[in-house]
Structure 1
Amino acid sequence: MNDNDVPLWRLHLLRAFYLLITVGLTLSFGPVMLQHTDLWAQRKGETASLVSGLAILCLWGLRYPLQMLPLLIFELIWKSVWLIAIAYPLWRGGAMTPAVEETAFACAMGVVLTPLVLPWRYIAHHYFRKPGQRWR
C-alpha cells in the first residue's frame, strides 16, 4: 500500500484533524505559555510545553498528513492511558474535580474521534506488516 492508495477525502479529513488539534491546543495553552506565574510553571510547565510542541508538529500534518500519523497515534495512546490510569481511578474513588472532569471529557472525545479519522489499513501496512529498518 502506498500513499496514493489513501483516498483524497481521508487526507483532507486528516488535515482537518491536525488543524483541530493545533487550534484547540493553541487556544488552551497558548495564552498561559506567554503569561504565567512561577507556581504554574513548576506545576504545569512540562505539560504545556509538551502539548505546545505537539501543536506545532501538527502543523506539518497539514502538508504531510500520512508522514505525521505517529502524532495522531501518540494522541490516541496518551489520552487512553490518561483515562485508564488517572481519570478512572479518580472517578471510582469519588475524587473527580471539575477540572479533571473537563480533561476527561476532552480526552474521551479524542479517544472516540481519533480512531474514526485514522487510515487503519495504511497504518497496519506501514507500521505492522512492513519490515522494520535494518539494525546494522
Structure 2
Amino acid sequence: MDLKQSISQKQANTSTTITRPPKWRLHLMRVLFLLNVIGLAFDNWSAILFPKEQMDTLTGVAISFWAAFSLLNILGVRFPLKLIPILLLQLLYKTTWIIGTYLPAKKNELLNDDLEAFLWVCIAGIVLNLLIIPWGYVYRFYLKGFFELK
C-alpha cells in the first residue's frame, strides 16, 4: 500500500458521514419550500411588478426581501438539505415577531385584526417548521462541530 492510499484510508476511517434524512422527510421539506414560494410570490412579486402606489423605504425593503426569499425557496424545492438555513430563518423570524411585536401589542392592548391574523400565520409556520425540519441532520451537520476547535 502506498502513502496516498494509506492517507485516504485513514481519512475514510476517521471522517464522520452525515446520514441523510429519509426521502419522505425530504419530500415534506420540498412541499414546505413550495408553499413558501406560493405564499410569498403572489403578495410580494405583484407589489414589485405591479405597484399600486409608491412604497416608503421600509416597506420597499421588506417587500424586496420577501420576494428574494421566495426565489431562495425555489432553490429549496430542488435542494432541500442545502437550503435548511432558509427554513431556520423562517422559524426564527416568526418566533421573534411573536415575541417582539405581537406580545408587546397584546400587553399594551394595541392588538388589531392584522396582528391577530399574522399571529396565526406565524404559529402555523412555526409548527410546520418544527415538524418538518430534520433536527437530527441539523444537529449533526450544523451544530455538532460548531464548538470544536481545530
Same topology, TM > 0.5: yes
> Which ranges of structure 2 fall in alignment gaps of 5 or more residues?
1-16
Stretch of structure 1 that moved more, 124-133 or 11-20: 124-133
- SS state of the match for residue 2, structure 1? coil
Please list, as runs of the form range in 1=range in 2, the aligned pairs for 1:41-120 lying within 5 A after superposition: 41-120=56-135
Alignment-mate amino acid for residue 9 of structure 1: W
User: Could you tell me the TM-score, scaled by structure 2's length?
Assistant: 0.81
Alignment-mate amino acid for residue 46 of structure 1: V
- Name the structure with the higher helix share: 1
Structure 1 CA distance for aligned equivalents of residues 148 and 62 of structure 2: 32
Structure 1 CA distance for aligned equivalents of residues 96 and 117 of structure 2: 16
User: Could you tell me the TM-score, scaled by structure 1's length?
Assistant: 0.88
Q: Which residue of 2 aligns with 1:2?
A: 18
CA contact (8 A) 2:33 2:76 kept: yes
**Aligned-residue identity in percent:** 27
The verdict on how the C-alpha distance between 1:134 and 1:8 changes in structure 2, with shifts beyond 3 A counting, is same
Number of aligned residue pairs: give it.
133
* Structure with max Cα Rg: 2
